[in-house]
Amino acid sequence: MRPTAIVFDLYGTLLRIDSLAQAAEAAGASDPAGFVELWRHKQIEYTWCLSLMQDYRDFDTLTARALDYTCAQVGLVLTPAARRALAGAWLTVTPYDDVAPTLRALRTRNVPLGVLTNGVRASAERALHASGIRDLLDDVLSVEAVRVYKPDPRVYKLATARFACDPERILFVSSNGWDASGAAGFGFAVAWCNRSGRPAETLGYPPITTLKKLDDVLGLLS
């Protein structure tokens, strides 16, 4: 296929959420990986709740509130400084090893590359710069522009507006199954990057293909 643009989800697709475990351990979490998993689950749950409530709080705010909930759930007491440091660790999450090589290879194909994220744009930009991959992307699109979260169709429409094309001309790559389903329902050609071997979603909006790792996307452009 020859898409008009390739658009990536950010957190969990390009940047490793599990890299937060080191910060969680430094903050005193007894099970750092489990703590991060609970935190991420609550963070996304809050985005869905607010979208259904037709309310909006930015992603940084929800991340901090989800952190408070997770600390309460596991009995971890943080000082204000420790809370700020742990919430701020989202600005320095590391990319997967295959991300930079894949983006560099895609740049040689002359296909525009973008990110479509739930995150605050300024925070996403900082995380991308910190990870050393911002210069490999043409644009960063944030839900801030529409004040609602994925999988609301208004979010995915940001990409079709930015790249001036129909949904099926966007190749959308996400590691989050629910995001892949939402994007497929909108009409994107979706490549689900299923690094962790999770079962496929059963909502009825399947991806056009499932990738085991991000660089598998290169084969789609042959």
φ and ψ of 161, to 5 deg: -70, -45
CA-wise closest residue to 131 among 19, 24, 25, 21 = 19
Provide DSSP, 127-188.
Answer: HHHHHT-GGG-SEEEEGGGTT--TTSHHHHHHHHHHHTS-GGGEEEEES-HHHHHHHHHHT-
CB atoms near residue 219 (< 10 Å): 9
Provide the token pair at 158. Answer: 């940001």
Mutual orientation of helices 32-52 and 59-74 as an angle, nearest 10°?
130
Q: Residue 117: helix, strand or coil by DSSP?
A: strand
Give 113's strand partners: 6
Provide the token pair at 110. Answer: 């002359």
For the chain, the residue count is 222
Q: Which of the residues 9, 152, 179, 215 is marked catalytic?
A: 9
How many Å from the N-terminal Cα to the C-terminal Cα in the chain? 7
Give exposure, 171-180, as e/b (b: 16+ Cβ within 10 Å): bbbbbbbebb
Indicate if 9 belongs to the active site. Answer: yes
The residues that are catalytic are 9
